[in-house]
Amino acid sequence: MSKSMIGVDRSQRPIESTTTALFVCDMQNDFIHEDGAFVKRFGKVQPNPDDIVPSISKVLQAAREKGIKIIYTRVVNRPDGVGQSVRLSRKMGALMEGSWGIEIVDELKPRDDEFVVAKWRFSPFFGTSLETILRSFGVKTVVLSGVHTNGVIDSSARDAEYRDLDIVVLRDCCGAATTALHEAHLETIQASFGRVMTSGEFLEILRGD
């Protein structure tokens, strides 16, 4: 196995560290922190609310060590509503531009050389520079983590597949309002768009490089 190769699925292209990007999707204070607007109103994401940040942190560290590109996404609502659909977060006054709520949680803060893509829709591909960034690095595979499984994760998987990218979703690094929503969307992704695995399984692949 070549030094850059970190896993092979015979049904798809090999996963190689030089052509892989890890997405950390919408891990923002309003969604995750105990004082965040969504947590206060709806509770923590399911099914593993206390494990999602540590699980992503472990994958993030390993990915950085392998030189995998890191892409953060975050929802940013403009106070004037320009360019945005009517969404729950806006109605709640959450995830507003310039607020504490839009920031990535402290445990997962991006480094200066990592990309942070602000978005107005579930998909980070819509109306952003994300596709250009991925093409410039020759990315072929995206590994998805973050919240919510039925929002940004599902939408990212679909849009990535439409662009002929391979998709891996880390099931214990994602969450939704309910376990039922989480599992239903993982099942759809596994059936139609990509591979679903645990962070432990992915880390084992990385250790085998």
Render pLDDT for 4-43 as a digit per residue (tens, 0 to 9).
455 444 456 677 899 999 999 999 999 999 999 999 999 9
What average pLDDT does the chain have?
Answer: 91
* pLDDT for position 66: 95
Does residue 3 lie in a domain region? no
Does residue 142 lie in a domain region? yes
Inter-axis angle of helices 154-162 and 179-192, to 10 degrees? 10
Does residue 181 lie in a domain region? yes
Helices (H) and strands (E) in the chain, counts: 8, 8
Q: Which residues pair with 175 in a beta bridge?
A: 147
157: pLDDT strictly greater than 70: yes
Does residue 45 lie in a domain region? yes
Does residue 6 lie in a domain region? no
The stretch 43-62 carries a mean pLDDT of: 97
* pLDDT for position 6: 53
Does residue 2 lie in a domain region? no
Does residue 109 lie in a domain region? yes
Range of the domain at 103: 16-207
What proportion of the chain, given as a percentage, has pLDDT over 90?
81
Cα-only R_g, the chain:
16
Render pLDDT for 101-151 as a digit per residue (tens, 0 to 9).
999 999 999 999 999 999 999 999 999 999 999 999 999 999 999 999 999
pTM summary value: 0.93
Does residue 1 lie in a domain region? no
How many structural domains are present in the chain?
A: 1
Name the token pair of 140.
């072929």
Instruction: State the Cα–Cα distance between residues 182 and 202, nearest whole angstrom.
Output: 19
- Residue with token string 């920031």: 103
Question: Which CATH number fits the domain that encloses residue 75?
Answer: 3.40.50.850
